[in-house]
Amino acid sequence: MEFPERLTALRKARGLTQQALANAVNLAVLQIRRYEGGTSQPTLDVIRRLAIALGVSADMLVFDKQERAPADVLRYQFETVSRMSPHEQDVVRELLDAVIVKNQLAGALERVSSVIKPAAKEKKISSTKSASNARRLAHAGR
């Protein structure tokens, strides 16, 4: 379901008219019609105001359920963790944070490495040419 359909469904589920929603978010009703018709996209500020007026998260307005949900493989594990004590949940959260940071750092290092390696190779080729030219000049001067 796309944004216009989600907005319309949420508005109707709350029993709001387009005019009532427009009033709640301080917009012209014509703009709500454009959003619901798919001819206009709201700004981030308007998405925030729509989410507040509809009593939902901005994610619920923007994403389908399956777009933001964890993979099925992880869902069972997250459900299990949610039944643990608060202390155990904190430990799991810290472990997840550590793995996420490690993964992000590895990706950053890989990106930096992909930039540095070609530059280092080019510098090596350049210095090899300079050394070769210096030997040739020295040999020619004999």
Is the pLDDT at 119 greater than 70? The verdict is no
d(Cα 77, Cα 56) in Å, to the nearest integer? 25
Q: Which residue has the tokens 């001819």?
A: 39
Identify whether the C-beta of residue 50 lies closer than 8 Å to the C-beta of residue 25.
Answer: yes
Q: What is the dihedral of CA 93, 87, 65, 71, to 10 degrees?
A: 50
The mean of the pLDDT values for the chain is: 86
Average pLDDT score over residue span 18-36: 97
Average pLDDT score over residue span 122-131: 62
The pLDDT-based confidence of 142 (bands split at 50, 70, 90) is low
Q: For residue 34, count other CB atoms closer than 10 A to its CB.
A: 16
pLDDT at 74: 83
Which range has highest mean pLDDT (14-23, 89-98, 113-122)?
Answer: 14-23
What value, to the nearest 5°, has the Cα angle with vertex 22 and ends 18 and 24? 120
Residues 6+ apart with CB under 8 A from 22: 28, 29, 31, 32
| More confident of the two residues 132 and 71 | 71
d(Cα 18, Cα 117) in Å, to the nearest integer? 57
d(Cα 43, Cα 19) in Å, to the nearest integer? 19
d(Cα 44, Cα 7) in Å, to the nearest integer? 14
Is the pLDDT at 37 greater than 70? The verdict is yes
